[in-house]
Chains A and B, each alone.
Chain A
Amino acid sequence: QLQLQESGPGLVKPSETLSLTCTVSGGSISSSSYYWGWIRQPPGKGLEWIGSIYYSGSTYYNPSLKSRVTISVDTSKNQFSLKLSSVTAADTAVYYCARLEGDPFGGVDVWGKGTTVTVSS
């Protein structure tokens, strides 16, 4: 059964870059049927789509975050990663990695458990 696991620092200082990695187990990230993405949820608030990537490296970003976001993929490690630059307290959230079926904006059929990132000095 496919599983996703987020990893990375739980605390990031304002103005620095948030970096997270998602490790895919139980399946290949190079499957042609799926895209891989990041979604976040600030404390007590709703979900926000950050962006997605295909195993070939094609990326799709939320326009409101596009200037600060980079998503990359490492097929040799079966991982994909998120970098969010110039973070502020507003970027404090639970960050989920996800598998999207069929297209870069499709339904998320597999979610990681989520990792909490706090932006604070």
Chain B
Amino acid sequence: QSALTQPPSVSGSPGQSVTISCTGTSSDVGSYNRVSWYQQPPGTAPKLMIYEVSNRPSGVPDRFSGSKSGNTASLTISGLQAEDEADYYCSSYTSSSTSFGTGTKVTVL
């Protein structure tokens, strides 16, 4: 299975919105609503931010939202804050396995 494609980096000023894309195929993102998003600050374990495309676990701010269109899923961070600076990874179910995205570094300017 191939890794899902994410942009290497995105950036924004505090208060702005940024969107991270996660592009797969009709064999993964396009066929299943089993997309998750994770936030990973440097040197720490990932944290679940979104599951099943658009659901937020308890405790995750509503500034984080997820969506999907065709073979591409997206994570939007609204009202960007300094604490949001981290690496972000998507994941999707595919053929009795799970694929992760290539990762995106979010920089708060």
Q: Do A and B bind each other?
A: yes
Residues of A in contact (CB 8 Å), total 20
Classify the secondary structure of A's interface with B. Answer: loop
- Kindly report which residue of chain B lies nearest to residue A107, judged by CB atoms: B51
Task: Kindly list chain B residues whose C-beta atoms are within 8 Å of the C-beta of A107.
Answer: 36, 48, 51-52, 57, 91
* Inter-chain contact B97/A109, CB cutoff 8 Å: no
Q: Does B38 contact A (CB under 8 A)?
A: yes
- A68 to chain B minimum Cβ distance, whole angstroms, is 15
Contact with B along A32-73 (1 / 0, CB 8 A): 000000000000001111000000000011111000000000
Residues of B in contact (CB 8 Å), total 24
CA A87 to CA B33, docked complex, whole Å:
34
Please provide the chain B residues from 24 to 46 with a CB less than 8 Å away from any CB of chain A in the complex.
Answer: 34, 36, 38, 45-46
Task: Kindly list chain A residues whose C-beta atoms are within 8 Å of the C-beta of B93.
Answer: 105
Q: B3 touches which one: A46, A62, A96 (CB < 8 A)?
A: A46
Task: Kindly list chain A residues whose C-beta atoms are within 8 Å of the C-beta of B46.
Answer: 47, 96, 108, 111
* Inter-chain contact A46/B103, CB cutoff 8 Å: yes
Contact with B along A86-121 (1 / 0, CB 8 A): 000000000010000100011111011110000000
**Residue contacts A-B, CB under 8 angstroms, 27 given:** A46-B102, A47-B38, A47-B46, A47-B89, A47-B103, A49-B98, A63-B1, A63-B95, A63-B96, A63-B97, A64-B1, A96-B45, A96-B46, A101-B51, A105-B34, A105-B93, A105-B96, A105-B98, A106-B51, A107-B48, A107-B57, A108-B38, A108-B46, A109-B51, A109-B57, A111-B45, A111-B46
**What 9 pairs between A and B have smallest CB-CB spacing?**
A107-B51, A49-B98, A111-B45, A107-B36, A47-B100, A46-B103, A105-B93, A105-B98, A109-B48
